[in-house]
Each structure stands twice: as structure tokens, then as C-alpha cells.
Structure 1
């Protein structure tokens, strides 16, 4: 082993705590890179394999009622590979000891053989027997939530008639990866079911014998979905087609796609932050290491070592730290990815989900960590090449500290001697103190940002369910009904208030930008379900135009005063050109509101409602729900308390749990930065501290001189960290937000205070660890020049 390599090992052992902290920061960045990249890779591959194996359709074409012979015409559209007609409908499932029925989707299966498209995965039990019309397959998640097994019986209401079914098997399907009740965003296995029935039995229940109400279409390779969607709409229009749509707009696929996109963005933006911090820390360590070993470098050059050999020695120090951290990060990334893949499998109903990392990801992670760490080192290594042996062996020229003398003299009457030493040190080396301040501020900024995002999730839930939605339950009807139904609801004992709404399936269009969604008709002023502006003021639905949610306005690139084209996808299917009168803040979905009377007039369907928001007396809620359940026109009841609980569960235990990982990681990097600053300061001042001890300073006074500087820098970092945190919180919240929901960044006094407290606690722990070294300082050894 060469002398330089032995010196390298001694340096690594001497600085083991510092290098461990830096390696941990690098490991965190690599962990995120490997974990997020692996999750993206696993979700994409598993989703595609699942779609292909069970032949998920590329185009869905719902229709009111179309004869079976139209399937032949659909199959003749150029670019169509296969067509499948099926029957679908809503259902209400009665659960024992549960007042409110569970909403369900009934889907037909052919009597014999597998469907050509949208096949199901049989998880348990057997397939349907065509001889028994009362058999069903039940969604596995729902069955597990209610302890149902093959052989059990359930009751369900379909098209106003009650049926009793026997469960033949439990199933999953790629079109129900994300299973949520219509109109809701959060999945809840206990409150949404899918029933697969024999096609003949379901057609008879919905009065669709010899007909279908949804066509499934798969495309040939290279076929253009928009052209085929337009052709399908033309064929089905006269039969009540409500507008075909591609897989990209299918709700389950849309959720999983948004999740993958968010992970991909995070994997590209978050790890570089940690790599940058690691490079910054290594830059400080190596630069101060070279300054401290200036004389040694001169001696090495005098004995014949070249600048390249000496530079390679210090570069190996950087490489060993970065590669060790990267390898640790790779291992932790795989373990974290495997743990999170179980969470994703729980919320996205994959039959299987194996966490797989592309081997190239490991190489990329290692190379990125090495490159980022080396970037900081290369800036310092240039000094080695500039040092001549004769110059290096001489002490550096004394710095000019005359400017700081006046400052210290002015403070002499106010500060004691140890405190003046602290101020003098900071004043004489302002750039070094500034670098340490920025490093600590970045750590605090990460902590504040993550606390702000955590608070944003809670604020979104509180604002959405306490301020925006003030109802107790939402009732939806099978089809738009007259106002007579509202009077029936108002007459129920226990119903305090009823607020109607109208929801119409539409396609919003502004030039080439489109969005498939719903136009909601709202009363004005609304009391139970309101639109709110950015400053939490109510926005009223208007008769002279529509108001759009901020996500929808951004997607359509439209502003108040512009006009939006609204293509209605039901009834007479008019095309409306409506002015945009305003925008509002939306936390869930991308809604648009129009005054309900004006909407019905535009559709030429006066006094029609799709449902109602209810405020109910808690003492009579059981009787109210029982009465509503027996109304044949009711498609479903959604309790606000249940919807809120589902959303909170998704945010705290599902994909939203990623933010907790980020908060923990922010705490780790904060401590790493603060501890490194303390260790570097101690390494630089060990000789000075020993001198103070020899001059008569106590251990406490010597430690105060060192840790007082750390405390001063930490206090200076707090306001800067707060500003960094506010900016980072907005960026991270935007990364978590999608077209389906918006997460506000809630950086308030609590977030800043808790972030500052985390930094102060980290500084106290780091100071305590360093003080132990100060107390154990060997005065003779510290005063000697290190060989």
C-alpha cells in the first residue's frame, strides 16, 4: 500500500463521523432515485402487462340502447381490431347492519367463453355457470371488506327491482384498478362494488334484450383513436350515444397514469436537491482539508509526488464517500420500493405487483452521485495544481483583519471575551460563515416545505369538507328528474335542507385543447356545496356564463372573458358557446359551474335535476336513509363523513404517504448539514481550542467559543430557511397536485416554527456530540503539527 493510500485511510477514519453524515445525504438522494424510478418502472410494466393479458379496450362507447347488429358496423371502421358489446348499469347492494346501500356497477359477461375485450381475473372461486342466472362474480376488494366468500348470497337493487345473487367467485379487472364510486375521488373497498353477471340476466334486468349500452373497441397498431371515436359517435348518435372516449380518459387508467407521472416528475426533481447538498458539503470538507494540509501538500511535492498524484489522492477520498453512500442508497432504495409497492398494490388493484429496478438505474444512481460529489471537489483540486512546493511549505500570508477590529472594539463594552472571539471569527471569515448559514438554511427549508405540504393535505381536506361542502349526504338519481322528486325529499322527517344540482356529461373545448368532464348546474347562491375563490370567498354560479376551476382553466388555457365551447354528450347533444365569467379554487377534480336554471334552458330541459345535497337531523338520519333507499329513482347515496374518511385514508396510508417519507428524509438531511458544520468548525479550531485550554479557559468556556459560532450561524439561517421553505413548499405541492386534485401549500407560523425547532434540536444534538470531543481534547497532541 502506497503512503498516500495509508494517509487516505487515516483521513477517512479521523473524519468518519463527517464522512458518514455526507454519505448518508448521498444515500438519501440515491434512495429516492432508485425507489421512485423502480416504482415508475414497476407500475408501468405491471399495468401494461395486465392490460394486454386481459385485453383492456382502447375506446369505450356508452350508448342509451343500441341493437346488437350495430357491432358489425363498428367493427368495419378502419383501424378497429375488435369490438365487444356489453350491458352495464348501476346497482345498490344491501349490506347487513348498514343503513345506506352500497353503490355498485353491474357488468355483463358472455354466457360462454371469455369476452373478447375487458376480461376478468378470477382471484377465487369459479366462473359463472350459464345455467344459473342468479350467479355473480364480485369485486375482490369489496368482498374482503365485508368478509364475503364464494357461496355467500347478497341482495342488490337493479333498475328498481330487488334481486338475490349467489357469489360464484371473486374477481378483479384492469378497468377497475382504481375502484371508486361515481362522483368520488378516493377509493373505498367497503363502499363500492362491481358485480359481473350473465349477459342474459343483466339485459333482462335493464330491459336491454338484444341490445347493448356500451361498446368496447380495440385498435390496430398505428390506428388513431380520435378518428375512430368520431366514427363510433356518428354510428351511435341516433341511438343515444353519450360520447365515446379513449383509454386516456377512463377514470381508473387516468388515476394510475397521474400517479406514475407524479412519481416520474419527483424522481427527476427531488434527488438532485440531495445530490447538490452532498456536493456542497464535500466541497466545504475538501477545501478546508486542503487548507489545513497545505504544508503537507508542499512536502509531498518536494519529495517528488506530482500534482496529478496528489489530486488523485483527494479525489479518491471523494469517490470512496460518494460510492459508499450510493451503494447504501441503492440497497435502501430497493427495500423502500418493496415496502411502497405493497401500498400501491393495496390501492391499485393489481393481481400482482413486483418491485423491479432496471439495472441501468443502479449505474445511473452511482454515476450521478459520483459526478455531483466530484463537481464540488474539482473546484477545490485546482488549488493543488497551483501550489508550488516552496510556497506551500510556507505559512499562508496573514489575512487583513483590520476591518473587523473596529467592530469588535465597538462591542467590547457589551460582550465578554469569549463572545467577542465568536463575533471576531464570523466577521473575519464572512464567506465561510455565509456558506455554513446557507447549508443549514437549505436543511431548514426542506423541513419547512415538507411540513407545509403535510399541512396542505390537511387543509385541503378541512376546506373541502368543512367550507366548500357543508352537506351531510348527496343523493343522485338514475336519470335527470323533475322538481317533484325534491318535494318528496323535503317531506321526509329529519331532512332540514335540500339543494338540487344538475350534472351533464360534456367535452370542453378551446381550440385544440379539450377536457372530458361534467358541467354542473348549481343554485345561486349555493349553501350546501359552494365554489370558493383563492382567498376562500364564495363564487356564485351565474346565468350569463360559466365559472371554471383553476385546474380546468389552466388545462384549457382559458381566462375570464374568453368563450369556451361545450359539447353536451347526452340528450339532444347541443353544442354551446359560453362565456367564462370567472375561475375558482378547486381542491377535488376540475369542475365547472353554471346556474342550474340557465343550464336547463340551454339544454331545453326545464326544471330537471340530477341529484340533491341534503342537510339531515342526526336524530332522524337512519329513518331518512331507509326512506331514500326505497325510492326507485335513487341511484345512490354518498355520506360526506364516509367520503372524507376515504380521502384521509388515501392521503395518509396510500400514495399520499410518500410525503411522510419526504418529511423523514428532510429531517435526516437537516441533521446531516448541521452536524457537518459543527464537525468542520471543530476540525479547524482544535488547535485554537487547545491553546485556550492551556491559557486557562475551562472546558465549558472552550466549548462555548466553538458552539457559540454554530449557534450564531444557526440563528442567522432561520429566516433564510423560512423563505426557502415557502418557495420549496409551493413547488413540492404543485408536484403532488394533479388534474384530479389540488394540494395547497400551507406554510404558516406552525410550519416555520416546527421547522426552526427541528434545526435547533439538530444543532443542540450536534453541539453535544462535538462538545464531547472538546472535553476529551488532548492538549499536547492538539498543539502538535499533524504529520
Structure 2
């Protein structure tokens, strides 16, 4: 082994504390990159494989009733590869021991073959046998939520008719990765079921013999979906077409796509922060080493080593630390990715999900870490290259601190000698102090931003289910009902107040921008389901015009006073041109509101409602739910507390889990930066501190001189960390926000207080560790002068 390589090993051992902390910072950045890039590619590949293997449709075309012969016409559309017609509808399922009826979607299966499109993955059991109208396949997530097994009996109400079915199979489907009831925003395995029946049984239940009410289409490779949607709508319009939509607008796929989108945004923004901090720390450590080993560098060059060889020696030190961190990060990324893959597989009900990292992720992680190390050490290496033996072996010229004399004299009255020494060191090293302050502030900013987002998630729940939705129970109907239905609901057991709504499916357009959603009609002075502004004050529904949620207005690029085009997807399917009256601060979904009478008037259907919100006596829930089960027109019943619990569960999983991981990592990096600052300061001052001890200073005074600098750095970093955290919170909140919910952010004192406390605790622990080093200093060995 060459002499310089042996020196490299000795140097690595000597600075193992700093080197280990820097390697951990590098490892965290690489871990995040490997974990997130692997998770993104795994989810995308699994989604593509699952969709292809079970032939998920590219286009969904709901219709009121269309004859089977129309499937042939649909297949003739240019770009269409295959067509499947099916019967689908809503149902209410009774669960033994549960008062609240569960919403369900029922789908038909061909009796003599497997479906050409939207096939199912059979986890257990078998498909319904030919001619059996009482056998069903049940969605596995719902079966697990209620401990249902093969052979169990289900009671369900289909279109007003109560039927009993036996479970013969447990199935999964790429169409239901997220199980969200029609009209609801939040998926909940326990509150929404999917049942597959033989086509004959479902056609009879919904009076669709020889007809279908939904067409599924797959497209040829490279086909443009837009003209296909237009052609499908044109053919099905006369049969009550409800508007064809592409796979990208299918609810389950949209959830998964938003999750992948959020992971991509985070993977691009966060790892560079860690790499930048690592580069700064490497710069500090290597520059200190070069300064301390100035005479050694001169001696090594005097023995004949070239400038390149000596520079390469320190370059190896930098790269070794980066490579150690990268290797640790790669291993940690694979471990973390596999753990996260299990969570995502359960969350999205995937039959398989193998975490696989593209080798390019490892390569890019190592390359980026090395580049960060090179950036951190290149300026120092230039100094090594420039030193000549004669100059290097002479002590450096002392710095001129004469200009600080007046300041020092002025402070003599107020500060004792150790305090003046601390202050002088801070004033004489502004660049290094500034770098340490920025590093600690960056860690604190990242921590406080993550905690602000956590608080934002809670605000979404509190605002949505406490300020906007003040009801206890919500009821939806299979079809539009006369407004006197609200009067009938008010006479059910325990009902205190009823507030009707009218919701219609629609596509909202502004120029080239569009959004597929719905328009909800609210009563005047709504109390149970409100539209509110940024201050949570009620927005009065205008007699004419529409109120858009802020997220929807941003998507459409539209503001108050502009005109939005609304393509209604039911009834006579009119196209409405409506003025945007206000923008509402709704944090859940992207709704649009109108006065219920104005909406009915625009549709030419006065006095119609599609659901109602109710305030109910809690003791009357069993009697109320029992009565609602006997109302044929009721499609679903939702208890607000159940919806809130489901939303909280959703936020705590998937992207929600990632925010906890990010908060933990931010804490790790903060401690790493603080500890490195303390260790570097100790390395630079060990000889001075030993001299002070010999001169009569106590261990406590020596520790005060060393740790006083760290205290000043931390105190300066706290306000800067607050500013950085405030800015980062907006970026992180934007990354976690989706079409389902928007995360509010702002100045949250509790988040910055916790982050600041964490920094102070990290400083105290680091100070304690360094103080132990001070107590173990060998004064004689430290004071020896190398000749």
C-alpha cells in the first residue's frame, strides 16, 4: 500500500465522527432517490402489467339503455381494438350486525366466457356458474373488511328488489384499486362493495334484457382518444349517453396517477437539498484538514510527490466519504422501498407489487453524491494544488484583526474574557459561521415544513367535516327525485333537519382546459353543506351564475367574472354558459356550486333533488337506517363520522406515510449538521483549548469557549430556519396536494416551535458529546509542535 493511501486510512479514522455524519447525510439523499425512483418505476410497471393482463378498458361509456347491436357500431370506430358491453348499477348491501346499509356497485359477467375487457383476478373460489342467478363474486378488500368468506350469504337490494346471494368467489380488479362509492370522494373498503353477477341475473334485475348500460372500449396502440370519445358520444347520444371518458378520468386510476405524480415531485425536490448540505459539510471538513496539515502538505511535496498526487490524496478522502454514504443509501433505499412496496400493495389492493430498482437509479445516486462531494471539495483542492513546499512549510501569515480592536474594547465592560473569545472567533470567521448557520437553518426549515404539512392535513379534516359539512348523515338517490322527497325524509325517525341538494355530472371547460366533475345545487343560506370563502364565511349562492372551488378555478385558469362552459352529462345533456360569480375555498375535491333553483331552471327540470344532508338525533341511528333500507329510491347512506375516519386513514397512508418519513429524515439531517458543526469547531480549536487549560482555564471555561460558538450559530439559525421553513412549506404542500384534497399552509407557530426545539436539543446532545471529547484531551500530546 502506498504511503499516501496509508495516510488516507489514518485520516479517515481520525475524523470518523465528522466523516460518519457526512456519510449519513449523503446516505439519506441517496436513500430517498433510490427508494422513490424505485417506487415510482415499480408502481408504473405494476400498473401497466396489471392493466394489460386483465385488459382494463381505455374508454368507459355509460348510457341509460342501448341495444346490443350498438356494440358492433362502436367497434367500427377508427382506432377501436375491442368492445365489451355490460350491465352495471347500484345496490345496498346489508351486513349482519351493522345498522348502516353499505353502498355497492354490481357488474355483469358474461356467462359463457371471460370478459374481453375489465376481467377480474380470482383470489379465491370460482366464478358464478352458468344459469345461477344467486351466486356472486365479491371484491376482496370489502370481504376482508367484514370477514366474509366463501359460502357466506349476502342480502342486497337491487333497484328496489331485495335479493339473497351466496359468495362463490373473492376477486380483485384493476378497475377498483381504490374503492370509492359513486358521488363520494373518499375511498373506504368497509363502506363500499363490488359484486359481479352473471349477465342474465343483472339484466333481469335492471330490466335490460338484450341491452347494456355501459360500453367498454380498448384502443389500438397509438390511437388518439379524443376523436374516439367524440364518436362514441355521437353514437350513444340517442340512447341516453352520459358522456364517454378516458381511462385517465377513471376514479381508481386517477388516485394512483396522483400518487405517482406526488412521488415524482418529491423525488425531484428533496434529495438535492441533502446533497447540497453534504457538499457544504465536506467543504468545511476538508478545508479544516488542509489548513491543519499545511506543513505536512509542504513536506510531502518536498519528498517528491507531485501537486496532482497530493491533490488526488485529498480528493480520495472526499470521494471515499461520498461513496460510503452512497453505498449505505443504496442499501437503505432498497430496504425502505421494499417496506413501502408492501404498504402500497395493501393500500391499492394490487395482487402483486415487486419493488424493483432500475440500475440507473443506483448509478445516478452514486454519481450525484460524488459530484456533490467534488463540488464541496474542489475549491479546497485548488488550494492544495497551489501550495509550494517552501510556502506550505512556513506557518501562514497571521490574520489582521486590528480593525476589531475598537469593538473588543467596547465590549470589555460587558463581557468576561471567555465570552469575548467566543465573540472574536465568530467575528473573525464570518464565512464559516454563515455556512454553518445556513446548514442548520436548512435542516430546521425542512423539518418545520414537514410538520406544517402534517398540521395542514388535520386542517383539511377540520375544515371539511367541521366547517363545510355540518350534517350527520347524507343520503343519495338512484335518480333525480321531486323536491317533496326532502319533506318525506324529515319525517323519518330521529331526523332534526333536512337540506336537499341537486348534483349533476358535467364537464367544465374554459378554452382548451377542461375538468370532468359535477355541479352541486345548494339551497339558499345552506347550513348543513356550505360553500365558504377563505375566512370560512358563507358564500351566498347567486340567482344566476356558478361558484367554483379555488382548485377547480386554478385548473381551468379562470377567475370571478369569467364565463365557463358546462357540458351536462345527464338528462337532455344541455351545454350551459355560466358566469363565474365567486371562488370558494373548498379543500376537498374540486366542486362547483349553484343555487339549486338556478341549476334546475338552467336544466329545465324544476323542483328536482338528487340527495340530502340531514342532522339526526344520535340515539335514533338504528331506526333511521332501518327505515332508509326500505326506501327503494335510496342509493346510498353516508355517516359523516365514517367519511371523516376514512379520509384520515387515506391521509395517513400512501403520501401520508411519506410525510412522516420526510419529517424523520429532516430530523436526522438537522442533528447531523449540528453535530458536524460542533466537531469541526472542536477540531479547529483543540490546540487553543489545550493551551488555555495549561494557562489555568477550567474544563467548564474551555467548554464554554467551544460551545458558546455553537450556541451563537444555533441562535442565528433559528430565525433563518423559520423563514426557510415558511417558504418550503408551500412547496411541500403543493407536492402533496391532489385533485382529492388541497393541503393549506401558512405560518404555524407550533410547527416552527417543535422544529426549533429539535434543533436546540440536537445542539445540546452534540455539545454534550463534544464536551466529553474536551475532557479526554491529552494536553501534552495536543500541545506538541510538529517540527
Pairing 1:217–2:221 present: no
Instruction: Indicate the residue corresponding to 2:681 in structure 1.
Output: 681
Q: How many angstroms apart in 1 are the aligned matches of 2:757 and 2:462?
A: 26
Instruction: Indicate the residue corresponding to 2:242 in structure 1.
Output: 242
Instruction: Indicate the residue corresponding to 2:51 in structure 1.
Output: 51
Instruction: Indicate the residue corresponding to 1:190 in structure 2.
Output: 190
SS of alignment partner, residue 501 of structure 2: strand
SS of alignment partner, residue 66 of structure 1: strand
- C-alpha contact (below 8 Å) 1:448/1:747 kept by paired residues: no
What is the aligned length? 787
Q: TM-score, normalised by structure 1?
A: 0.99
Instruction: Indicate the residue corresponding to 2:496 in structure 1.
Output: 496
Alignment of 1:122-201 (within 5 A): 122-201=122-201
Q: How many angstroms apart in 2 are the aligned matches of 1:756 and 1:364?
A: 33
Instruction: Indicate the residue corresponding to 2:38 in structure 1.
Output: 38
Q: Which moves more between the two structures, 777-786 or 675-684? A: 777-786
Instruction: Indicate the residue corresponding to 1:537 in structure 2.
Output: 537
Cα deviation 1:257-312 (Å, max 9, x = unaligned):
11111111111111111111111111111112111212221222222211111111
Cα deviation 1:592-624 (Å, max 9, x = unaligned):
111111000000000111101111111222212
Instruction: Indicate the residue corresponding to 1:289 in structure 2.
Output: 289
Structure 1 residue 403 displacement after superposition: 2.5
Structure 1 residue 746 displacement after superposition: 4.8
SS of alignment partner, residue 531 of structure 1: coil
Cα deviation 1:40-74 (Å, max 9, x = unaligned):
11101111001001111110000001111111111
Pairing 1:447–2:450 present: no
Alignment of 1:463-478 (within 5 A): 463-478=463-478
Q: How many angstroms apart in 2 are the aligned matches of 1:459 and 1:639?
A: 20
Instruction: Indicate the residue corresponding to 1:306 in structure 2.
Output: 306
Cα deviation 1:633-663 (Å, max 9, x = unaligned):
1100011100111111122234311111001
- C-alpha contact (below 8 Å) 1:433/1:713 kept by paired residues: yes
- C-alpha contact (below 8 Å) 1:455/1:746 kept by paired residues: no
Q: How many angstroms apart in 2 are the aligned matches of 1:552 and 1:131?
A: 47
Cα deviation 1:141-169 (Å, max 9, x = unaligned):
11111111111111000000100000110
Cα deviation 1:510-545 (Å, max 9, x = unaligned):
111111110111122221111222333332322221
Q: How many angstroms apart in 2 are the aligned matches of 1:122 and 1:705?
A: 71
Instruction: Indicate the residue corresponding to 2:709 in structure 1.
Output: 709
Q: How many angstroms apart in 1 are the aligned matches of 2:748 and 2:222?
A: 51
Instruction: Indicate the residue corresponding to 1:620 in structure 2.
Output: 620
Structure 1 residue 408 displacement after superposition: 2.1
Q: How many angstroms apart in 2 are the aligned matches of 1:127 and 1:80?
A: 28
- C-alpha contact (below 8 Å) 1:564/1:578 kept by paired residues: yes
Q: How many angstroms apart in 2 are the aligned matches of 1:206 and 1:710?
A: 75
Instruction: Indicate the residue corresponding to 1:552 in structure 2.
Output: 552
Q: How many angstroms apart in 2 are the aligned matches of 1:355 and 1:456?
A: 30
Instruction: Indicate the residue corresponding to 1:15 in structure 2.
Output: 15
Cα deviation 1:433-490 (Å, max 9, x = unaligned):
1111111111111111111111111111111111111111110011111111100111
SS of alignment partner, residue 223 of structure 1: coil
Q: How many angstroms apart in 2 are the aligned matches of 1:128 and 1:168?
A: 7
SS of alignment partner, residue 270 of structure 2: helix
SS of alignment partner, residue 119 of structure 2: coil
Alignment of 1:594-743 (within 5 A): 594-743=594-743
Cα deviation 1:214-261 (Å, max 9, x = unaligned):
000111122111101110101100110000000010000111111111
Instruction: Indicate the residue corresponding to 2:487 in structure 1.
Output: 487
> CA 1:212 to 1:385, structure 2 compared with 1: closer, same or farther past 3 Å?
same
- C-alpha contact (below 8 Å) 1:34/1:362 kept by paired residues: yes
Q: How many angstroms apart in 2 are the aligned matches of 1:715 and 1:574?
A: 64
Alignment of 1:59-70 (within 5 A): 59-70=59-70
SS of alignment partner, residue 489 of structure 2: helix
Structure 1 residue 425 displacement after superposition: 0.9
Structure 1 residue 140 displacement after superposition: 0.6
Instruction: Indicate the residue corresponding to 1:261 in structure 2.
Output: 261
Structure 1 residue 196 displacement after superposition: 0.1
Structure 1 residue 786 displacement after superposition: 5.4
Instruction: Indicate the residue corresponding to 1:350 in structure 2.
Output: 350
Q: How many angstroms apart in 2 are the aligned matches of 1:717 and 1:31?
A: 26
Structure 1 residue 128 displacement after superposition: 1.1
Alignment of 1:70-81 (within 5 A): 70-81=70-81
Pairing 1:91–2:91 present: yes
Q: How many angstroms apart in 1 are the aligned matches of 2:552 and 2:229?
A: 23
- C-alpha contact (below 8 Å) 1:184/1:643 kept by paired residues: no
Q: How many angstroms apart in 2 are the aligned matches of 1:745 and 1:334?
A: 32
Instruction: Indicate the residue corresponding to 1:588 in structure 2.
Output: 588
Cα deviation 1:558-589 (Å, max 9, x = unaligned):
11111111111111111111111221222211
Instruction: Indicate the residue corresponding to 2:411 in structure 1.
Output: 411
SS of alignment partner, residue 743 of structure 1: coil
Instruction: Indicate the residue corresponding to 1:25 in structure 2.
Output: 25
> CA 1:122 to 1:426, structure 2 compared with 1: closer, same or farther past 3 Å?
same
Q: Which moves more between the two structures, 291-300 or 101-110? A: 291-300
> CA 1:377 to 1:364, structure 2 compared with 1: closer, same or farther past 3 Å?
same
Structure 1 gap ranges (5+): none
Structure 1 residue 404 displacement after superposition: 2.2
Cα deviation 1:708-738 (Å, max 9, x = unaligned):
1101111111001011111111100100011
Q: How many angstroms apart in 2 are the aligned matches of 1:186 and 1:366?
A: 40
Instruction: Indicate the residue corresponding to 1:206 in structure 2.
Output: 206
SS of alignment partner, residue 215 of structure 2: strand
Pairing 1:744–2:744 present: yes
Q: How many angstroms apart in 2 are the aligned matches of 1:314 and 1:546?
A: 67
Instruction: Indicate the residue corresponding to 1:780 in structure 2.
Output: 780
Q: How many angstroms apart in 1 are the aligned matches of 2:404 and 2:105?
A: 77
- C-alpha contact (below 8 Å) 1:520/1:592 kept by paired residues: yes
SS of alignment partner, residue 539 of structure 1: coil
Q: How many angstroms apart in 1 are the aligned matches of 2:551 and 2:720?
A: 31
SS of alignment partner, residue 337 of structure 1: helix
- C-alpha contact (below 8 Å) 2:262/2:655 kept by paired residues: no
Q: How many angstroms apart in 1 are the aligned matches of 2:14 and 2:671?
A: 20
SS of alignment partner, residue 415 of structure 1: coil
SS of alignment partner, residue 357 of structure 2: coil
Q: How many angstroms apart in 2 are the aligned matches of 1:713 and 1:116?
A: 67
SS of alignment partner, residue 397 of structure 2: coil
Instruction: Indicate the residue corresponding to 2:111 in structure 1.
Output: 111
- C-alpha contact (below 8 Å) 1:502/1:611 kept by paired residues: yes
Q: How many angstroms apart in 2 are the aligned matches of 1:747 and 1:138?
A: 47
Instruction: Indicate the residue corresponding to 1:575 in structure 2.
Output: 575
SS of alignment partner, residue 311 of structure 1: helix
- C-alpha contact (below 8 Å) 2:418/2:704 kept by paired residues: yes
SS of alignment partner, residue 81 of structure 1: strand
- C-alpha contact (below 8 Å) 2:477/2:610 kept by paired residues: yes
RMSD over aligned Cα atoms: 1.1
Q: How many angstroms apart in 2 are the aligned matches of 1:527 and 1:638?
A: 18
Q: How many angstroms apart in 1 are the aligned matches of 2:525 and 2:394?
A: 82
Q: TM-score, normalised by structure 2?
A: 0.99
Q: How many angstroms apart in 1 are the aligned matches of 2:295 and 2:562?
A: 72
